[in-house]
């Protein structure tokens, strides 16, 4: 197989999308945190669905990730009006 047809595993598994909202450093950083949250929730959901972790463990992990995301939002002092734009 030649290199032109190979899929970059990191880009396939850890896709990042560019930020299209109102640019501020805080919004950009929060967007990165939000994408990471989404990615990890997806992995946890798949692990739970395939029987690798319990529903309780999945819930606890997602709850912890949510708390981290909420803290990130508060720490970055995101303007709530920017969120709705």
Domain positions in the chain:
22-78
Given this model, what pLDDT does residue 34 score? 92
Check: CB of residue 58 under 8 Å from CB of residue 44. yes
pTM: 0.72
* Residues in the chain, pLDDT under 50: 1-2
Give the pLDDT score at 63.
98
Q: What does the alpha-carbon distance between residue 14 and residue 1 come to, in Å, rounded to a whole number?
A: 23
pLDDT of 11:
61
Q: Is 8 exposed, middle or buried, given 0-12, 13-18 or 19+ CB atoms closer than 10 A?
A: exposed
* pLDDT confidence of residue 21: 80
């Amino acid at each position: 197989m030649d290199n032109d047809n190979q899929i970059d595993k990191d880009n396939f598994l850890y896709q990042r999308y560019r930020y299209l909202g109102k640019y501020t450093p805080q919004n950009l950083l929060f967007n990165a945190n939000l994408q990471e949250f989404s990615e990890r929730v997806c992995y946890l959901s798949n692990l739970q669905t395939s029987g690798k972790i319990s529903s309780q463990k999945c819930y606890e992990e997602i709850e912890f990730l949510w708390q981290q995301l909420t803290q990130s939002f508060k720490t970055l002092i995101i303007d709530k009006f920017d969120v709705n734009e």
